[in-house]
Amino acid sequence: MVVYTMNYVYKQRAYLKCKPLNNAFAYNITMVSILKNYTCIAVHDFYEYWLKIMDNQHDYYFYIEAINEK
């Protein structure tokens, strides 16, 4: 699991940023809502991501996982 920071600008958007790992070539960002809906996004070559697919009526939980093919 990667340590990340999340800063809200608007309730519908989140800015996610994680500390880079030396052996990771990408990161999976998993977002889960209280309605049991989930989304998984693969981010390559970046350590930050603007997430803009939320609504302002629900709470969301995030998990960031480093990917390594070694």
Q: What is the pLDDT of residue 69?
A: 66
Please count the other Cβ atoms lying within 10 Å of the Cβ belonging to residue 4.
17
Q: What is the pLDDT of residue 43?
A: 86
Are 10 and 52 in contact, with CB atoms under 8 Å apart?
no
Residue 54 CA, chain-centre distance (Å), reads: 12
Angle at 32 between CA 18 and CA 14, to 5 degrees: 45
Segments forming the whole domain that contains residue 55: 4-67
| Segment-wise mean pLDDT, segments of 10 residues, the chain, 70 residues | 48 75 85 81 80 75 80
Q: What is the pLDDT of residue 3?
A: 45
Q: What is the pLDDT of residue 5?
A: 47
Are 40 and 30 in contact, with CB atoms under 8 Å apart?
yes
The answer, as to whether pTM is greater than 0.75, is no
Number of domains in the chain: 1
